[in-house]
Chain A
Amino acid sequence: AQSVTQLGSHVSVSEGALVLLRCNYSSSVPPYLFWYVQYPNQGLQLLLKYTTGATLVKGINGFEAEFKKSETSFHLTKPSAHMSDAAEYFCAVRANTGNQFYFGTGTSLTVIP
């Protein structure tokens, strides 16, 4: 079975500061990992994904995440927050033999000017 834990339902950072959103997963088989962003009243948009290969993956809008198997983590980072980054962020896991995506409960990011 797969599951995702996102520590911190709300994160606030100052504009220009580092963004760190945490995601830990549980999976009995090698997972595929995803980060999605959701702006108010919109659907989910893919930020980045890890399937195989390089464990540091880069996504859109300057975000990146690193797959750490030993820590079962896939934390999302961005060096410098922008006001437009304010949104809800969801981490998701999918088994490499699976169908459905399992989502975390989300982290709401607030950027303070």
Chain B
Amino acid sequence: GAGVSQTPSNKVTEKGKYVELRCDPISGHTALYWYRQSLGQGPEFLIYFQGTGAADDSGLPNDRFFAVRPEGSVSTLKIQRTERGDSAVYLCASSLFGSNTEAFFGQGTRLTVV
């Protein structure tokens, strides 16, 4: 596709359940990022992949959050035992390699934990 694709666009889940959020980056982009955005806030960094490996996962809030990118393309963010505080918009972005390159963002997945 032409841009970063995230599915689902909306997800409502019950507290305690497990969820997976998918990100399909722009073809050829080796870098992939996950951010979380709460209402009225800027995006908050979660994790960064360079290829298949998580180069920086310092933003993951706790061990309930995990992300994979097994083939260096599609990534999945996994949240176990969801809590109401996990409700937010989860943004995925991808970029070419290099710190002077911009990130291209998907439209996000709005997660609501009830």
- Which A residues contact B (CB, under 8 angstroms)? 4, 9, 32, 34, 36, 41-46, 49, 51-52, 90, 94-106
B104 close to A (CB within 8 Å): yes
Please give 9 more A-B residue pairs, beta carbons under 8 A apart, in addition to A96-B99, A99-B55. Answer: A90-B43, A98-B99, A99-B50, A99-B99, A100-B33, A100-B45, A100-B48, A100-B56, A104-B42
Q: Are B106 and A43 in contact (CB under 8 A)?
A: yes
Chain A residues near B45 (CB-CB < 8 A): 100-102
With both beta carbons as reference points, the residue of chain A lying nearest to B49 in the complex is identified as A99
A38 to B57, CA, bound (A): 25
Closest 4 CB pairs of A and B: A103-B42, A43-B105, A51-B100, A44-B105
B59 close to A (CB within 8 Å): yes
